[in-house]
Structure 1
């Protein structure tokens, strides 16, 4: 609807967000954001969590999720969808578009992003070239260690472990343990042998 009225869209965006900040204005944080976020029963969002949420994108949390103090949720470029029982601990940054499955645990200081900054025009500052969204998916029952970085457009498969401090630059198959910079597979679960094995 607003895409056909760019001037109105720009004006409403100005009212909602300061021109060179990703954070909504105070009035929006008090009156708008609580109405935009959809929470399942029992979900807790701590008071000091930073919610850079805009009404034109979704922010949906399932049943009994928790978002701890100093975590950042930003849906400015795409929806943030969080499954049941997932835990976003302190200082975690989620930049949409991002989908987290059920029973996901993200350790302190980790970042999961669904966008990248454009940089190809060498005669223009990178900060002025915009961003390209590319959804990142973390499937069910994944543990992401603290201070890890999950890059845009990849999928972390079911029941994976990402070691602390890892930089994940490509998709990870289910039932894997990855670590390092860039992250590589350290172990995979062998269903025939019923044990975790080195690749």
Structure 2
């Protein structure tokens, strides 16, 4: 189910699994890379998901809270002799496992890898790898507990 108030770019790069719900004011962009949303995924209001050449994959049964940003692209910034906007972009991609709960206001940056059964506390920033079953919080997100 996709809310009529959501903005979803319908491209061949986008795949949404059965039973998934996209709430109002969600923006989904998949014009330059694959974006795969698994089955029974809930995406909260106001969230933004963008895939580029590295792709974005969200596993089955994921819960994404409101106002979450998932951006599978980043600007290059290694040169000081030219403006950042002219240096191009990179895209490593983002992988989010099955049965993941992402709290409100979380930012997931390009290159992030989140294992199955993880929980990300609200307003955290994920930029690296979180192993299976990790509960993480902070900026950057760090493991505070491992589910068993």
Q: TM-score, normalised by structure 1?
A: 0.69
Question: Which aligned pairs between 1:152-171 and structure 2 lie closer than 5 A?
Answer: 152-171=110-129
1:66-100 CA-partner distances (Å, limit 9, x unpaired): 11111111113311100000011111111112100
User: Whose strand proportion is higher, 1 or 2?
Assistant: 2
Query: For residues 32 and 78 of structure 2, what CA distance do their matches in structure 1 show?
Result: 20
User: Whose helix proportion is higher, 1 or 2?
Assistant: 1
1:1-53 CA-partner distances (Å, limit 9, x unpaired): xxxxxxxxxxxxxxxxxxxxxxxxxxxxxxxxxxxxxxxxxxx1111212245
Residue in structure 1 matched with residue 7 of structure 2 by the alignment:
50
Residue in structure 1 matched with residue 100 of structure 2 by the alignment:
142
Q: How many residues align?
A: 145
Aligned-pair RMSD on alpha carbons?
1.3
User: Is 1:109 aligned to 2:67, yes or no?
Assistant: yes
Deviates more, 1:118-127 or 1:88-97: 118-127
Any stretches of 5+ residues in structure 2 without a counterpart? none
Q: How much has 1:124 moved relative to structure 2? A: 2.2
1:85-132 CA-partner distances (Å, limit 9, x unpaired): 001111111111210000001110111121111122323222222211
Question: Which aligned pairs between 1:112-123 and structure 2 lie closer than 5 A?
Answer: 112-123=70-81
- Secondary structure of 1:45's counterpart equals coil
Runs of 4 or more consecutive aligned structure 1 residues displaced over 4 Å after TM superposition: none
Any stretches of 5+ residues in structure 1 without a counterpart? 1-43, 191-199
Query: For residues 147 and 45 of structure 2, what CA distance do their matches in structure 1 show?
Result: 30
Residue in structure 2 matched with residue 74 of structure 1 by the alignment:
29
User: Is 1:184 aligned to 2:139, yes or no?
Assistant: no
Query: For residues 90 and 7 of structure 2, what CA distance do their matches in structure 1 show?
Result: 23
